[in-house]
Amino acid sequence: MKRKNLRFPLCPVLPKLKVPGKPRIDIIAVEASMQQVSEMVKRCGSLCTCSLLLQILLLLLKVITPVRVLLVTDCFPTPNLFTCKELIWHEGNLWLYQPNLNVLREKMQLPVGSCELSVPLKAKEHFYSARAHREAYATILHSANFYVCGAIAAAQSIRMAGSTRDLVILVDETITDYHREGLAAADYDKIIFIDADMLILRNIDFLFEMPEISATGNNATLFNSGVMVVEPSNCTFQLLMDHINEIESYNGGDQGYLNEIFTWWHRIPKHMNFLKHFWEGDEEEKKQMKTRLFGADPPILYVLHYLGNKPWICFRDYDCNWNVDILQEFASDVAHKTWWKVHDAMPENLHKYCLLRSKQKAALEWDRRQAEKANYTDGHWKIKIKDKRLETCYENFCFWESMLWHWGDKNWTENATVTPSPPAVTATSVSL
C-alpha cells in the first residue's frame, strides 16, 4: 500500500513555451508527422499520441477566447482530450476542433497517468453531486451464466458501500440498437466501469469527479481497465469500432486496445482496484499485509479485484484456487470469506443465481482429487464441504459424480451432458 513500494515510471519532461500577455488567437494549427510521433513515444514512454504537441500548446498558452484547433496528423487525436463532440470537420489527415478550453486545461493540469497519482491517497468518500442522476456504475456480462452471480454481488457491494447511483449491466447478446438508444436517452455524463469480479468495499463516488480516462496503473505506462472513469459517447464508441481491425491490442483484450487509444490518462491509487494476487517473490511480510487488507473491518481497500477462480464457482468453505498449482498465487481464504459476506447480505431471492452447475461440482471434486494426489501442503483438499449448494440441483441431470468416471478421457466433451441455463435474470427479479 505504500507508494514507495510501488515502481512508478518517471514523468515525461514536456517542453515549455513562453508567451507574453494574453494573446488573442483564433486558430492553432499543428502538424505531427509519424516520425515526430515516434520521437514522442521514445521520450514520453507512451503509445501513439499524435496530439501531444498541441495539448502542450493549449495548456501553456494563456488563451482566454474561443479558439479552433487544426491538427494535421496521420492518426486520430486522443479522443478523451479532443472529443468527437467538439469535432467540426474532418477530411483525410485534417482534423478541425473547437475545444472547451476550461475542460481541456483541467484535464491537462492533472498528472499524466503514467507517472503520478491524480487522486490523493485519502479521498473524501461522502460528497454531494448535483449531477448524481447523470452518473452510474456499469459492468458488462460477456458470459451470462458465469458472471451473473458476480455482477449481482458487485452491485450489492456498491449499495453496501453507501452509493445510490444508478447501476447498469450490459449483456452482450442483448445489446441491440434499441437498447443503445435507451442508454443514450439516459444521458449519463460519467460512468464508473467495474469488472463483474470485483467488490466495492468503500464508497468510490468521488471518482465521478475525475475525467476520462481515470484508472489504476497496470505496469509501466499502461492502465488496468478493471475500474475506469469514462464519459459515454456514441461517437467515441463508433471511433473505437471503426479502428478495431487496424489497431492491435498489446494483450489481445479490451485493456490492450483501450491503452492504444487512450494514451493520456489519470492514475488513481492501487487500493481503488486492488488485485487479489500474491506475486512470485513476495516476502512473507508483504503477504501478511495483503491478507490483513483483504479482511480488514472496517475496510481499508476501496475495491478488491478477484483474480483466478471466482468465489462463486468455488464452494464457500475455502478458496478453490488452492487446489490448482498454477492458481495458488490467487488463493486467499480471507478474501474468499469477504466475498461471501457480501453474498449473504444479498436479498435471498437472488441467491439462486449463484447455484453451482453439476459440471462445476465435478470440476471442483476433480481438482480436489488432483491436489490430494499431489499431497499439497496447504491441506485444503482435506476440508469437508459443508456448502449447501453441493446438495442443491436446479438442472435435469444431478448425478455429477458420474461425470468423473470419464473426466480425463480425451473423447470426453462438454456436450456429453446437456444442462439448462440458470434461472433467467429479468429487470423485476433483480432488486437491490
pTM: 0.81
Instruction: Report, as an integer, the average pLDDT of 184-195.
Output: 82
* Cα within 13 Å of Cα(198), Cβ side: 29
pLDDT single digits (tens) 349-393: 999 999 999 999 999 999 999 999 999 999 999 999 999 999 999
Q: How far apart, in whole angstroms, are the C-alpha atoms of residue 295 and residue 336?
A: 9
| The most confident of 46-50, 112-116, 397-401, by mean pLDDT | 397-401
Q: How far apart, in whole angstroms, are the C-alpha atoms of residue 180 and residue 281?
A: 46
Q: How far apart, in whole angstroms, are the C-alpha atoms of residue 165 and residue 168?
A: 10
Range of lowest pLDDT (57-61, 78-82, 310-314): 57-61
- According to DSSP, residue 430 is labeled -
Is it the case that residue 47 has pLDDT exceeding 60? no
- The full set of domain ranges for the chain reads 3-109
Q: How far apart, in whole angstroms, are the C-alpha atoms of residue 114 and residue 281?
A: 25
